[in-house]
Homo-oligomer: A and B are copies of this chain.
Amino acid sequence: MEIGLEELQLAARNHGMPLEALRYDRTPAGLHYLLVHYDIPDVDADRFRLIVDGHVERPMELTLADLRERPKVSAPVTLECAGNGRALYEPRPVSQPWLLEAVGTAEWTGASLAALLAEAGVRNGAVDVSFAGADHGLEGGVEQDYERGLPLAEAIRPDLLLAYDMNGHALPPQHGFPLRLVVPGWYGMTSVKWLLRIRVLDRPFDGYQNEHGYRWKTEDDAAGTPVERMRVRSLMVPPGFPTFLPRSRNLRPGPVTLQGRAWSGAGPVARVEISIDDARTWAEAALEQPPGPHAWHRWTFEWDATPGDHVLASRATDATGAEQPLRPDWNVGGYTNNAVQRVPVVVAGEF
């Protein structure tokens, strides 16, 4: 693998969640993964207005106070970047070079999107709803505010939030201050940050980020299919302690509790299995209930570590029967890589 300066510029700005932070039910701010498409905009909360318009009976313009006065809804939601694992594909698609860390779970608090849309009165014939943020840039030759569309049926789900708080505090600037969308179950690209405008459309949304970005395809010139829900995945806290470079793992012999998290955008996780022999044999981990229907499950596995080299792995299966693959499912954009994580460890009395 050889990463160039352009990608390093993205990797230096954006950041993953160090995997030891899988220990937290709710990821502390600053540890939650962060992807900023363009620049972090400087939105003045006092002048902020959310526009709701398009194919609705009653267009609206709301201040932050208007939104905070509405019934408050809170939920822990796991968000993962659609490009998580991109740098582990071969050949490697060139973009933000994520390894495994582009995930996090926060308690998001805000107003219900469905209630807002009901108040605005969605007209017959509505198809999609688009969400535009203040994040401005040039991509694929198109100057744009970051904007994503959602099918109406998804937008009126009861669990979508217009979030103004993260873990009980106002959103940090980098997570969308003062307002962002949170779409549980979907990869993070749809949870538009620095949200300024919601448009109800009587035709499919054809903006850049749906038509060109976030398409799953194996050939450059194919139309592909849209990237939507998070595939089933599990990750492990690498046990023991690291070597500074290359961040390999060192562990003393004896009993150790392996732990991690598992999630799926398709529903609950049904099973997590652990391997200590590089995915040759598997044993079932203890799986906890998640802190909410759209948050990750904690899993644990008791292991009596014996001296020598081992490759640990975890594999989750969700309620639909979908299971993590051993090898990544390559695609042009480097999306949805939910291949089983491998964690080589050296177990020894001395290092």
Q: Which of B6, B34, B38, B242 contacts A137 (CB 8 A)?
A: B242
CB proximity of A11 to chain B, nearest CB, Å: 4
- Partner among B3, B34, B99, B136 whose Cβ is within 8 Å of the Cβ of A30: B34
Question: Is A124 engaged at the interface, CB distance under 8 Å to the other chain?
Answer: no
Does the CB pair A40–B12 fall under 8 Å? no
Q: CB < 8 Å: which of B2, B8, B31, B139 contacts A97?
A: B8
Q: Are B243 and A138 in contact (CB under 8 A)?
A: yes
Whether A12 contacts B241 in the complex (CB less than 8 A), given A1-B5, A172-B29, A247-B6, comes out as no
Q: Is A152 an interface residue (CB 8 A)?
A: no
Copies in the assembly, this chain: 2
**Complex Cα–Cα for A245 and B97 (A):** 12
A38 contacts which of B13, B15, B242 (Cβ < 8 Å)? B242
Give the number of residues in A that approach B within 8 Å (Cβ atoms): 61
**Which residues of chain B are near A4, meaning CB under 8 Å?**
1-3
A37 at the interface (CB under 8 A from B): yes
A–B pairs, 15, beta carbons within 8 Å: A2-B2, A8-B97, A12-B16, A12-B97, A18-B36, A18-B174, A24-B173, A30-B32, A38-B241, A94-B245, A136-B241, A137-B242, A138-B244, A139-B244, A140-B244
CA distance in complex: A276, B142 (Å): 27
Q: How far is the CA of A98 from the CA of B9 in the complex (A)?
A: 9
Give every chain B residue within 8 A of A143 (Cβ-Cβ): 241, 250, 351
- Chain A residues 331 to 351 lying within 8 A of chain B, measured CB to CB, are 351
Q: Mark A90-105, 1 if CB is under 8 A from B, else 0.
A: 0000110111110000
Q: Is A157 an interface residue (CB 8 A)?
A: no
A275 at the interface (CB under 8 A from B): no
The reply to whether B12 and A98 contact each other, CB–CB distance below 8 Å, is yes
Contact (A245, B172) CB under 8 Å given A21-B40, A29-B30: no
Whole-angstrom CA separation of A78 from B64 in the bound complex: 32
Contact flags A43-54 to B (C-beta < 8 A → 1, else 0)? 000000000000
